[in-house]
Structure formats: structure tokens, C-alpha cells
Amino acid sequence: MLNTMTRQFEGALKQGKDMTLGFAKQVERAKGPVETLEKRGLAVNEVAHHYLARAIRQQFVLIDAAIEESSKRLRAIAKAGSFAELWQAQFTLNREAMERLTKGLRETGEIVTDAREDFGAAIRPKAKPAARKAPARKKAKTRVARKTTAKKPAAKKAVAKRRTSKKAAVKRAA
């Protein structure tokens, strides 16, 4: 009796050790994905900081240009000797403002596009060298269905009877 209990205890102990070792192996396997996530997270963080800095610099350039433009407009109003001169100065300043805004929007769009590409590169896993591809298998030829002509009602009944008799014969054989 004592011998049997000892064997059962040893069996349970061995089973517990095996389960614990298996669990330890599974925990060790999680190390690879964690390292990958760490690397990707740091890469994404670096990209985010870089493009955020670029975007903030771009916004300061746009704000600085808007303040400068406002100053020019006020000077043009103060210096205008007539309504025609004021009109001409405002027309010129409007054209310059449109060019500045277009350039600023283009640069902002470039920042966003570059950021999207770099974020994608930071998130996507590195491509492993492709193994040699196996040759593609040939597709099986498919039969071309023939057009059927309309059958007379009597012929339809005969075909239906034959089909059911074949099915019954197959069932009987099985």
C-alpha cells in the first residue's frame, strides 16, 4: 500500500515538473516577441519625435510669415497716398500670401507623407530573404459545358427515372 502511494506521489510529482518545464519554455518563447515589440516601439517613438519636431518648426515658420505679412499690410495702408496705391499694394500682398500659403501647405503635406512612410517602415517587420519558390502547379483542365436542347416532357421523365435508379443501386452496393 505504501509502495503504491509512493509511486502515485512520484508520478504526480514528475507530471508537475514536466508541466512546469513546459510552462517555462512557453514563457521563454514570449521573449522574442517582446524584444521585437521593444525595437518597433522605440523605432515608432523616434519617428514620432522627429516628425513632431518638423511639424512644430513648420508651424512656427507659417506663424512667423503671417505676422510679417500683417506688418507689411499695415505699412502699406499707412504709406498709401491714394486708394489706387492701396489697392495695388493689397493685390500684390495677396498674391504673395497665396504663394506663401501654397508653399507652406506643400511642405506640411511632405512632412505628413514622409511620416506615414517612416511609420510604416518602423511598424512592418523586416523582410526575410525569400526562399526559392516552388514551381507553380498547373491548373486542371475544366470541361466546357455543352449547350443542352430542350427535352420533351416524356424524355425528362425517363432521365429522372434513370437517375433515381442509379442512386438506389449505389446505395445498395454500399
What ranges in 30-150 are assigned the alpha helix state H? 31-79, 83-123
Does 13 reside within a domain?
yes
According to the model, what pLDDT value does residue 123 have?
81
Residue 67 lies in a domain: yes
Domain of 10 in residue numbering reads as: 2-125
* Block residue for cell numbers 508541466: 19
In this prediction, residue 138 carries a pLDDT of 64
Domain count, the chain: 1
Cβ atoms 55, 105 nearer than 8 A: no
pTM of the full structure:
0.50
153 occurs within a structural domain: no
* The amino acid at 91: F
The answer as to whether 44 is a domain residue is yes
With respect to residue 116, please indicate whether it lies within any of the assigned structural domains.
Answer: yes
Residue 34, pLDDT score? 72
The ranges of the chain with pLDDT < 50 are none
Please name which of 108, 103, 135 lies closest in space to residue 52, comparing C-alpha atoms.
108
What pLDDT score does 71 carry?
Answer: 93
